[in-house]
Amino acid sequence: MPDLDVSKLPIWHTGISYCFRHAHVQSQELNTIHRDFNTIHRDLNTIHRDLKTIHRDLNTIHRDLKTIHRDLNTIHRDLNTIHRDLNTTPQGTQHYTQGPQHYTQGYPPYIQRPQHYTEGPQHFIQGPQNYTQGPQHYTSLVLPNTIHSNRKAIYSDLNTIYRDLNNIHRDLDTIHRDHKAIYSDLNTIYRDLNIIHRDLNTIHRDLNTIYRDLNTIHRNLKAIYRDLNTIHRDHKAIYRDLNTIHRDLNAIYRDLNTIHRDLNTIHRDLNTIYRGHYIIS
């Protein structure tokens, strides 16, 4: 009877080992995805800080524009005072009755700072009123005297000032439209960032669920490994017992063979004795 090979132990753990290796590879891939998402979050935070800086700069520009508008209103009030003084002269010609429209509506203050990924900047919905009515031109001359000439020169200067003010207002309107366009673009960017942020949160929740499932599988595989190791140890003990029995059986076989040889020798001796006895008789 041949000896049993103890080294040929059960290999039931091969499939479980593959599952462990596969789960480890999956965990590494998930870790790579998490690192990529963390990088994206850092980039989004950088964009958010840049947008906040842009908003602060825009607010500074708006405050400067409000200051300019207040200065323009002061100039308008001064011009209206000059017109009233000119119209109070006793030898007036055409009275200047229509002054510049007062600039009474400025930019609304930007008081809402964008919340983190959830609220974009408020739209500027009211810009400066266009300056549409300048001073009436002085078209009639009555008293060709020095006072009238001086008044005409003053009116000419006032008209020049009003044209300059109108140009400034148009430039301010252009700046305001540009700012509204910039704010519209920023709102679009904020909406896109909110969508990306929600998608990232959803993916993050899904990854956490996958991680929990992998941990559960890992715990189950460890329990199976422990059971297999117990079975493996029991099998090794059984194999050792079987080898001991096998060695004992081999010893018994050897003893039986020795007895068989001794019996054959005895039989030969008995046959020899019987043949000798037969011859003698």
* CA 213, chain centre distance (Å): 24
pLDDT of residue 23: 60
The residue written with tokens 């011009």 in the block is 79
Q: Please state, in angstroms and rounded to a whole number, the distance separating the CA atoms of residues 141 and 259.
A: 161
Q: Is residue 281 part of a domain?
A: no
pLDDT band (50, 70, 90) for residue 114: very low
Structure tokens at 190: 């904020």
pLDDT of residue 1: 41
Instruction: Provide the number of structural domains found in the chain.
Output: 1
Query: What is the rounded average pLDDT of the residues 247-274?
Result: 88
Question: Is the pTM of the predicted complex or chain greater than 0.75?
Answer: no
Asked if 128 and 172 touch (Cβ cutoff 8 Å), the reply is yes
E-state strands within the chain: none
Q: Is residue 274 part of a domain?
A: no
CA-to-CA separations, 162 to 42, 131, 185, in angstroms, rounded: 52, 9, 34
Q: Is residue 6 part of a domain?
A: no
Q: Is residue 270 part of a domain?
A: no
CA-to-CA separations, 84 to 81, 87, 92, 93, 152, in angstroms, rounded: 5, 5, 11, 13, 15
Is the Cα dihedral 144, 145, 149, 151 positive or negative?
negative
The residue written with tokens 């958010």 in the block is 48
pLDDT of residue 109: 35
pLDDT of residue 115: 34
Q: Is residue 69 part of a domain?
A: yes
Query: What is the rounded average pLDDT of the residues 248-262?
Result: 89
Structure tokens at 149: 């000439």
- Count of other CB atoms within 10 angstroms of residue 228: 14
pLDDT, one tens digit per residue, over 167-189 is: 777 777 787 778 778 777 877 87
Q: Is residue 175 part of a domain?
A: yes
Is the pLDDT at 10 greater than 50? The verdict is: no
Determine what percent of the chain is predicted with pLDDT higher than 70: 56
Q: Is residue 64 part of a domain?
A: yes
Cβ-based neighbours of 103, under 8 Å, separated by 6 or more? 69, 72, 73, 76, 128, 129, 131, 169
Asked if 40 and 200 touch (Cβ cutoff 8 Å), the reply is yes
pLDDT, one tens digit per residue, over 205-229 is: 887 787 788 778 778 878 887 887 8
CA-to-CA separations, 246 to 4, 10, 48, 233, 240, in angstroms, rounded: 8, 20, 79, 20, 10
- Count of other CB atoms within 10 angstroms of residue 148: 17
SS3 at position 93: coil
pLDDT of residue 202: 81
Q: Please state, in angstroms and rounded to a whole number, the distance separating the CA atoms of residues 48 and 42.
A: 10
Query: What is the rounded average pLDDT of the residues 42-69?
Result: 73
Whole domain around residue 95: which residue ranges? 16-216
> Alpha helices of 1-117 — where are they, by DSSP H?
13-87
Q: Please state, in angstroms and rounded to a whole number, the distance separating the CA atoms of residues 239 and 222.
A: 25
Q: For residue 91, give the DSSP letter.
A: S
Q: Please state, in angstroms and rounded to a whole number, the distance separating the CA atoms of residues 121 and 105.
A: 21
pLDDT of residue 242: 85
Query: What is the rounded average pLDDT of the residues 255-263?
Result: 90
Of 121-130, 136-145, 166-175, the one with minimum mean pLDDT is 121-130
Q: For residue 3, give the DSSP letter.
A: P
pLDDT of residue 212: 82
Q: Is residue 32 part of a domain?
A: yes
Query: What is the rounded average pLDDT of the residues 68-72?
Result: 71
Q: What is the mean pLDDT of the chain?
A: 66
